[in-house]
């Protein structure tokens, strides 16, 4: 997809806005610009992403550390 910038603005099609929303974070790379959609309600999005995870943050952190040490052979 090619976009045209006019007057310093990038215009996205209705289909793109309906699919990804109207807020984006712009990330500048060496040879490109990346637009990442930003959730209208970030906390609600996080709840949805992590809904199947069980355990507290401490339990998850301890388990990740244990697995990492096992993979490293310690």
State the pLDDT confidence band at 2, using cuts at 50, 70 and 90: confident
| Domain shared by 34 and 48, yes or no | no
Q: In whole angstroms, give the CA distance from residue 28 to residue 22.
A: 19
| Domain shared by 7 and 19, yes or no | yes
Residue 69 three-state SS: helix
Q: What is the pTM of this model?
A: 0.48
| Domain shared by 50 and 34, yes or no | no
| Domain shared by 10 and 34, yes or no | yes
Contact 26, 40 (CB under 8 A): no
| Domain shared by 31 and 52, yes or no | no
Number of domains in the chain: 2
| Domain shared by 17 and 46, yes or no | no
Q: In whole angstroms, give the CA distance from residue 10 to residue 54.
A: 41
Residue 45, pLDDT score? 74
Look up the domain containing 60 and give its range. Answer: 40-74
Instruction: Name the residue with higher pLDDT: 22 or 39.
Output: 22
What mean pLDDT value characterizes the chain? 85
């Amino acid at each position: 997809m090619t976009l045209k910038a006019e007057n310093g603005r990038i215009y996205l099609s209705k289909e793109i806005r309906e699919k990804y929303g109207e807020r984006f974070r712009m990330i500048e790379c060496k040879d490109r610009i990346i637009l990442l959609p930003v959730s209208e309600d970030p906390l609600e999005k996080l709840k949805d992403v992590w809904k199947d995870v069980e355990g507290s943050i401490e339990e998850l952190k301890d388990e990740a550390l244990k697995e990492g040490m096992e993979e490293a052979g310690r």
